Amino acid sequence: MASLIVDTSGKPFGDALAGGRARADSGMSGAPGFARPPYANSFPYEAASLTSPEMGNWYPWIRSPDSEINLYRDQMVARSRDLSRNDGWASGGITRILDNTVGAHLRLSMSPDWRVLRRFAKGFDASWAKDYGQAVEALWRLYSEDLGRYNDVSRQLTVSQQLRLALRHKLVDGEALLVSYWKPERVGRGAAQYATSFLVVDPDRLSNPYQMIDTKYLRGGVEIDDDGVPLAYHIRKAHQNDWYNAVESMEWERVAREDEDGWRRVIHDFERDRAGQSRGIGVFTPVLAHAKMLARYYGVELQAATVATIFGTYVTSPYDPAMIEAAMDSHGDEQEIGYYQELRADWAKERPAMLNGVRVPTLAPGEEIKQVNAAHPHSGFGEFAHEMLRSIAAAMGVSAEQITQDWSKTNYSSARAALLESWKTLSRRSAEFKVGTATPLFATWLQEAMENGDLDDVLPAGAPDFVEAATAYSRCDWLGVARGWVDPVKEKQGAVLGMDAGLSTLKRECAEQGLDWEEVLAQRAIELEAFKRLGMKPPSWSGIESAEEAAEPQEEPQPQ
């Protein structure tokens, strides 16, 4: 049985449309002399219009985030990877983001929340936090930069390299996936100090067993409960297209998010665009079509330029096709065209033109060289390509100049404005990755270090176990890539003014440049001591007067 759509007045939707048309035609729909367009009263928002040329054929579906992503994830990821492999702009954009977030090394900077821990014992204070932080950082350096790479299940990467690879997966594939393993057999052998090790897993391996469709409690390989809490992850033992591991590629391992003792097994990090989302999408997804069209346009332009170059020049002869045909048909004058061809050959052979030993082609009498006008109809290629790159750069959160590395049209003000805006997005990406991946990975290792008793000498009496105050014990920051300067003189002067005015701190300024403020102060103390030991005058930045300046008598101000 057909149903009618009824508007708020109770009239069928079709009647409402007809009424709107009648009122518009009669000129009684508004102010005198003004008629609203047909159907205008039926759609209070342009976005809801069903009749305009722009909206009439636009009918996207309303879907849940998992139904939007999970069914089509493989196709989107395959295209994103192909783009990042074969397109220089895309590959360069990913490299820019990685170099400005993780860089070559992410350095741990501890800042435990001693105010929270003080509720458990009185020994927790700022002095303890400093000693504890230094001890943890030293153990972490030993583990994360281990020459034997025991932090990696495959023993190939340092922790910083693992984090960089994980972020690359997050940018291109839409998610980072790491699994922690307990390897006690490695401890005591070689340089292995801890049983905790990590493996960066290709997100393709996270999927429903046997490619079954999503269910209420299983979404794209993620097992959830009624509250949407991830309980476990179903991971293939091999990639689905590994023909040499065909058997294992059809076997799934269920990995719980956490062990019974609270030890984290899986780190799954992705940007959430909607509530209830179980899998992520890459940064290229919104602009894949733009990037593919731009790559195709480059190919067409190159072909057009090649054709224009090849067919750009030709030689004309006094014999046009009609004259040659007449000469060929005239048996009596067969010698005429033959004589001319012989003349041309003899002319080029016996009258060569030489210039510094290089032969210059010469022409027979009556011949001339003409050139085709190579004007190209698409003279705006550069501007078009730049606009397309701006769209791609906007989706990636960087400036077009950072992708193209072309700063020729940029001055100091525009460059600084562009870099500051990009830095906001890069800082946000970096912060989210640190919170979602780096810090959980560190906390997983820290749990073993504390349970082994490696930090007992810096823990006060009555200190809680790690699982009781994991967040307070693991609170930290990560020092990555320096922001750098567009104009070092101006910006360093601004940093000094900010610290003198109390609007900034040495810790903050150092962190923006990837430095540890305590190490900076310690190094300055070493250098000042070296100046004294060598009998050299301290530099102006030391704030210390030389012995001669201190010994000079100071003039007392005269009374007024």
Q: Which two tokens mark 494? A: 């601004």
Query: Does one domain contain both 95 and 194?
Result: yes
Residue 126 lies in a domain: no
pLDDT digits (tens, 9 = 90+) for 437-484: 999 999 999 999 999 999 999 999 999 999 999 999 999 989 877 666
Q: Give every CB contact of residue 173 below 8 A, 6+ residues apart in sequence.
A: 77, 80, 81, 202, 203, 204, 280, 282
pLDDT at 128: 94
pLDDT at 268: 97
Lowest mean pLDDT among 158-167, 226-235, 494-503: 494-503
Number of neighbouring beta carbons within 10 Å of residue 408? 6
pLDDT digits (tens, 9 = 90+) for 48-104: 888 888 888 888 889 999 999 999 999 999 999 999 898 888 888 898 889 888 888
Backbone angles phi, psi at 193, to 5 degrees: -110, -20
More confidently predicted of 155 and 340: 155
pLDDT digits (tens, 9 = 90+) for 298-319: 777 777 777 666 655 555 666 6
CA nearest neighbour of 343 among 333, 335, 331, 355: 335
Lowest mean pLDDT among 31-40, 320-329, 377-386: 31-40
Report whether pLDDT(8) > 90: no
Torsion, Cα of 55, 59, 64, 67 (10° steps): -130
Mean pLDDT of 509-525: 76
Query: Does one domain contain both 182 and 85?
Result: yes
CA–CA separation, 99 vs 225, rounded Å?
38
Give the residue from 354, 371, 388 where a domain finishes.
Answer: 371
Number of neighbouring beta carbons within 10 Å of residue 541? 8
Lowest mean pLDDT among 105-114, 187-196, 364-373, 547-556: 547-556
Residue 115 lies in a domain: no
DSSP string, 75-127: HHHHHHHHHHHH-HHHHHHHHHHHHHHTTT--EEEE---HHHHTTT-TT-SHH
DSSP string, 305-318: HHHHHHTSEEEE-S
pLDDT at 337: 58
Q: Identify the DSSP state of 504.
A: S
Residue 302 lies in a domain: no
Report whether pLDDT(17) > 50: no
pLDDT at 495: 78
CA–CA separation, 454 vs 467, rounded Å?
16
Q: Which two tokens mark 403? A: 């992708």
Residue 403 lies in a domain: no
pLDDT at 403: 76
Mean pLDDT over the full length of the chain: 79
Model confidence band, residue 536 (pLDDT cutoffs 50, 70, 90): confident
Query: Does one domain contain both 171 and 203?
Result: yes
CB 26 within 8 A of CB 32: no
Residue 125 lies in a domain: no
Report whether pLDDT(516) > 90: no
Model confidence band, residue 23 (pLDDT cutoffs 50, 70, 90): very low
CA–CA separation, 436 vs 399, rounded Å?
25
pLDDT digits (tens, 9 = 90+) for 236-285: 999 988 888 888 989 999 999 999 888 999 999 999 999 999 999 999 88
Query: Does one domain contain both 53 and 170?
Result: no
pLDDT at 319: 61
CA–CA separation, 372 vs 374, rounded Å?
6
CB 109 within 8 A of CB 477: yes
Residue 411 lies in a domain: no
pLDDT at 263: 92
Query: Does one domain contain both 84 and 233?
Result: yes
Q: Give every CB contact of residue 49 below 8 A, 6+ residues apart in sequence.
A: 39, 43, 55, 56
Residue 557 lies in a domain: no
Query: Does one domain contain both 498 and 528?
Result: yes
CB 344 within 8 A of CB 361: no
pLDDT digits (tens, 9 = 90+) for 345-357: 676 666 665 655 6
pLDDT at 4: 43
Helix, strand, or coil (residue 32): coil
pLDDT at 246: 85
Model confidence band, residue 508 (pLDDT cutoffs 50, 70, 90): confident
pLDDT at 523: 77
Q: Identify the DSSP state of 438.
A: I
Mean pLDDT of 531-557: 64
pLDDT at 99: 87
Which residues, in sequence order, are bridge partners of residue 264? 258
Query: Does one domain contain both 241 and 93?
Result: yes
Distances (CA, A) of 299 to 180, 182, 390: 45, 51, 20
CA–CA separation, 104 vs 95, rounded Å?
11
Query: Does one domain contain both 49 and 167?
Result: no
Which residues, in sequence order, are bridge partners of residue 300? none
Tell me which residue has tokens 């007809």: 18
Query: Does one domain contain both 39 and 71?
Result: no
CA nearest neighbour of 268 among 365, 169, 387, 192: 169
Mean pLDDT of 528-551: 69
Residue 402 lies in a domain: no
Query: Does one domain contain both 212 and 317?
Result: no
pLDDT at 227: 94
Model confidence band, residue 547 (pLDDT cutoffs 50, 70, 90): very low
pLDDT at 497: 82
Query: Does one domain contain both 490 and 524?
Result: yes
pLDDT digits (tens, 9 = 90+) for 419-434: 777 778 888 888 999 9
User: Per the structure, how many domains does the chain have?
Assistant: 4
Report whether pLDDT(360) > 70: no
Model confidence band, residue 496 (pLDDT cutoffs 50, 70, 90): confident
Number of neighbouring beta carbons within 10 Å of residue 41? 18
For every residue of 388-402, which 3-state class applies, written as one string?
Answer: HHHHHHHHHCCCHHH
Query: Does one domain contain both 217 and 366?
Result: no
Tell me which residue has tokens 């004259």: 323
Torsional class of 185: left (φ above 0), alpha (ψ -120 to 50), beta (otherwise): alpha
Q: What pTM does this model have?
A: 0.72
pLDDT at 24: 40
Full residue range of the structural domain in which residue 149 is found: 66-103+138-290
pLDDT at 56: 80
What burial class does residue 169 get, using C-beta atoms within 10 Å of its C-beta: 0-12 exposed, 13-18 middle, 19+ buried?
Answer: buried
What burial class does residue 471 get, using C-beta atoms within 10 Å of its C-beta: 0-12 exposed, 13-18 middle, 19+ buried?
Answer: exposed
